């Protein structure tokens, strides 16, 4: 698919580099102070037909852009050709950590950097979808547009907090997303937040519940990033299950449905990766439709044969210096603009998978009946 991408071995080494950098940075930085206030089993994309859309419609909020998707259309082969649809193309899944006015680590981003990147995505025709929507094949963005997944690890307080008037803080991740959505109406205000035991730096249960429910009710996804963010390869099977099940218990107490997705802390996969796909601990079970890594390239489409929901690639949000010269978001967004045929372009039709005729063989066998080739 990505003809100019280096060999798999080099990609894996880049992943290790990203993971190692994150381990060193996150283990050495101090914990930020707490802020007051504020399943389905089996293959996630298998089924008799393509799902019609997100599992639940977000609640509209006066004064904030809506996360509702546009009405679906019926795409003929000729229409798919006109919009240059390619739903076998690659999807950028961007990975963010802390958002700080002064960067203390290479993986930090400033509010200005996040805002600039999101505005670039909007201008380039990208429409955000959640990690859940990606993993379940529900990327029903308008025809001719490209899905992008915005993911935020660790539930840091810079990701979300509410001001006295009940609106998101302006320099928080959520605040910036809404600012860009106001400026670019086609930019859908959704993202995925993978949290640990103190979501968004909040200590009080009622504050945690308020924050999580606010996000989920407006179309954002809040899901599992383990209880205490350990290095999973260093743990035994029961310890890993406990980390995941304890976070699922917390989410349930906060009024959130079971997680469909999870992100590996530090991007580190245990040797027996089945334990992070599904399991049970003290009566609490989990089963994920998508497990996400830490980098370092766009993900293949969930409709193609190469797709593996057990290890989904992401891209670190960053510039092009040092180890990010060819592995982070600025490089890859430029690459995708130079290679538009490699990029996922939607047909606007939830019931079809539109691809150029030469790519129909790339589609998974259980999805062949949905192919709309031109």
* Burial classification of residue 307, based on how many CB atoms lie within 10 Å of its CB (0-12 exposed, 13-18 middle, 19 or more buried): buried
Domain that holds residue 130: 8-24+89-341
Question: Would residue 152 count as lying in a domain?
Answer: yes
At residue 295, the pLDDT reads 82
Q: pLDDT class for 43, splitting at 50, 70, 90? A: very low
Confirm if 219 and 189 have CB atoms less than 8 A apart.
yes
**Omega of the bond leading into 296 within 30 degrees of 0 (cis):** yes
Whether the pLDDT of residue 243 is over 60: the answer is yes
Say if 195 falls within a structural domain: yes
Q: Has residue 3 been placed in a domain?
A: no
- For 23, other C-beta atoms within 10 Å of its C-beta total 16
Other beta carbons within 10 angstroms of residue 33's beta carbon come to 8
| Banded pLDDT at 360 (limits 50, 70, 90) | very high
Q: Which residues pair with 201 in a beta bridge?
A: none
Per-residue pLDDT at 37 exceeds 80: no
- Whether residue 44 has pLDDT greater than 60: no
Is 201 within the bounds of a domain?
yes
> For the chain, what is the domain count?
1
Q: Determine the 3-state secondary structure of 353 from DSSP.
A: strand
Q: Which two tokens stand for residue 219?
A: 């179309």
Residues in the chain: 374
- The 10s digit of each residue's pLDDT in 77-88 is 999 999 999 999
pTM: 0.87
What pLDDT, in 10s, does the model give residues 57-72?
677 678 899 999 989 9
Residues 266/28, Cβ–Cβ less than 8 Å: no
Tokens of residue 298, six digits: 């766009």
Query: 315, 329 in Cβ contact below 8 A?
Result: yes
Instruction: Tell me which residue has tokens 């997100």.
Output: 54
Q: What pLDDT digit, counting tens, does each position of 128-171 carry? A: 999 999 999 999 999 999 999 999 999 999 999 999 999 999 99
Q: Is the dihedral of CA 181, 215, 170, 18 positive or negative?
A: negative
In a domain, 70, yes or no: no
**What contacts 24+ positions apart, CB below 8 Å, involve 167-176?**
167/63, 167/64, 171/99, 171/101, 171/111, 172/99, 173/96, 173/99, 173/114, 174/215, 174/220, 176/99, 176/111, 176/114, 176/115, 176/118
CATH number at residue 168: 3.20.20.370
- Domain membership flag for residue 147: yes
Beta strands in the chain (DSSP E): 93-96, 126-129, 146-153, 192-195, 221-224, 261-263, 278-281, 284-287, 290-292, 315-316, 353-355, 371-373
Please give the pLDDT value at position 62.
80
pLDDT at 216: 97
Least confident of 60-64, 220-224, 331-335: 60-64
Residue 316 has pLDDT above 60, yes or no: yes
Extract the tokens encoding 358. 């030469």
Q: Percent of the chain scored above 70 by pLDDT?
A: 84
- Residue 244 domain-assigned (yes or no): yes
What pLDDT does residue 56 have?
A: 55
Residue with more model confidence, 19 or 230: 230
Please report whether residue 357 resides in a domain: no
Examine the pLDDT at 179 and tell me if it is beyond 50: yes
The strand pair at 284-287 and 278-281 is best described as: antiparallel
């Amino acid at each position: 698919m990505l003809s100019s991408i280096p060999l798999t071995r080099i990609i894996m080494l880049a992943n290790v580099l990203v993971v190692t950098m994150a381990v060193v940075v996150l283990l050495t930085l101090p914990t930020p102070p707490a802020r007051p206030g504020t399943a389905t089993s089996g293959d996630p994309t298998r089924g008799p037909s393509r799902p019609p859309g997100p599992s639940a419609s977000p609640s509209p909020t006066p004064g904030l852009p809506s996360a509702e998707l546009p009405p679906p259309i019926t795409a003929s082969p000729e229409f798919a050709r006109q919009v240059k649809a390619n739903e076998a193309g690659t999807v950028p899944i961007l990975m963010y950590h802390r958002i700080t006015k002064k960067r203390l680590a290479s993986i930090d981003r400033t509010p200005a950097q996040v805002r600039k990147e999101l505005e670039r995505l909007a201008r380039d025709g990208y429409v955000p979808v959640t990690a859940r929507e990606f993993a379940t094949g529900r990327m029903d963005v308008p025809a001719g547009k490209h899905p992008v997944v915005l993911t935020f690890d660790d539930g840091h307080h810079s990701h979300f907090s509410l001001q006295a008037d009940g609106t998101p803080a302006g320099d928080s991740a959520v605040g910036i997303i809404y600012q860009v959505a106001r400026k670019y109406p086609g930019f859908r205000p959704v993202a995925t937040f993978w949290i640990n035991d103190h979501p968004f730096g909040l200590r009080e249960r009622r504050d945690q519940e308020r924050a999580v429910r606010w996000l989920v009710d407006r179309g954002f996804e809040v899901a599992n990033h383990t209880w205490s963010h350990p290095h999973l390869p260093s743990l035994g099977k029961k310890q890993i299950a406990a980390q995941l099940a304890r976070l699922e218990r917390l989410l349930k107490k906060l009024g959130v449905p079971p997680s469909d997705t999870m992100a590996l802390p530090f991007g580190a996969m245990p040797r027996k990766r089945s334990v992070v796909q599904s399991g049970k601990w003290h009566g609490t079970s989990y089963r994920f439709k998508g497990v996400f890594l830490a980098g370092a390239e766009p993900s293949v489409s969930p409709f193609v044969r190469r797709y593996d929901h057990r290890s989904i690639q992401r891209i670190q949000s960053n510039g092009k210096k040092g180890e990010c010269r060819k592995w982070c978001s600025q490089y890859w967004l430029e690459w995708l603009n130079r290679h538009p045929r490699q990029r996922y372009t939607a047909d606007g039709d939830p019931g079809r998978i539109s691809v150029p005729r030469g790519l129909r063989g790339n589609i998974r066998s259980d999805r062949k009946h949905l192919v709309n080739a031109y």
